[in-house]
Amino acid sequence: MAVFLDSADVEDVRQAMALGFVAGVTTNPTLIAQVGREGLDVLRDILSITTGPVFYQVTAETVEGRTAQARQAAAMAPDRVFVKIPATTENLTMAARLVSEGIQCAITAVSHPSQAYLAAMAGAAYAILYVNRLTRQLGDGIAVLRDCAALLRSTPTRVLAASLKSVDEVAAALLGGAQDVTIPLGLILKMGEHELSHQAIADFAAALAER
């Protein structure tokens, strides 16, 4: 299992890496747009901060353009860059070709087990589901994740849960079969806290004070 930071903000990346248990970073076009910088420049900076995997999404309008973007991104760190490719039939074909070239791919926006299955057949390292988004669109994103995880259990393709909005949703995704999760820095920090843990610490301190 791994927890990834979902951010294109280099300061978030520095803070997350300092925690010592965050495996790497996922980005997407929306996150990159929010920082107002060129995507490959952001990718280069993130790669310089973390030694872990970094996910970068291709966005060109044509297969040829997306293929060129994938090759350019992967060339920055072939062993650590995972090219994110949205789930469509033509993109799955493209992913299979890129994988045959040695480029690591992650199929994103997986919305049905059939897409997860084809991601595995294409040789993708990850199938990424937007769990909260699927809940809002279909009613139960965890159920979709659970089915995808069951289908991919005997394959090397890992289920990565994204679009997680609460600590409970993160836990539900992991219990539902996600091998990895990607979440914003604020939610990572919340995961390590619980009021009962703080109460236990206070109780221990009080007991020591009474000695």
pLDDT at 6: 98
- Block mean pLDDT (10 aa), the chain, length 211: 97 98 97 95 97 97 98 98 98 98 98 98 98 96 98 97 97 98 97 90 83 72
pLDDT at 203: 80
Q: Output the pLDDT for position 48.
A: 97
Residue in 66, 84, 146, 158 annotated catalytic:
84
Question: Could you give the domains of the chain?
Answer: 2-209 (3.20.20.70)
Tens-place pLDDT, residues 24-51:
999 999 999 999 999 999 999 999 999 9
pLDDT at 2: 97
User: Is residue 185 within 8 Å of residue 16, measured between CB atoms?
Assistant: yes
Round to whole Å and give the CA distance between 134 and 195.
Answer: 30
Report, in angstroms and rounded to the nearest whole number, the Rg of the chain calculated over CA atoms: 19
Q: Give the tokens for residue 167.
A: 């600590």
- What's residue 119's pLDDT? 98
Is 165 labeled as catalytic in the residue annotation? no
pLDDT tens-digit series, residues 170-195: 999 999 999 999 999 999 999 998 99
pLDDT on residue 81? 98
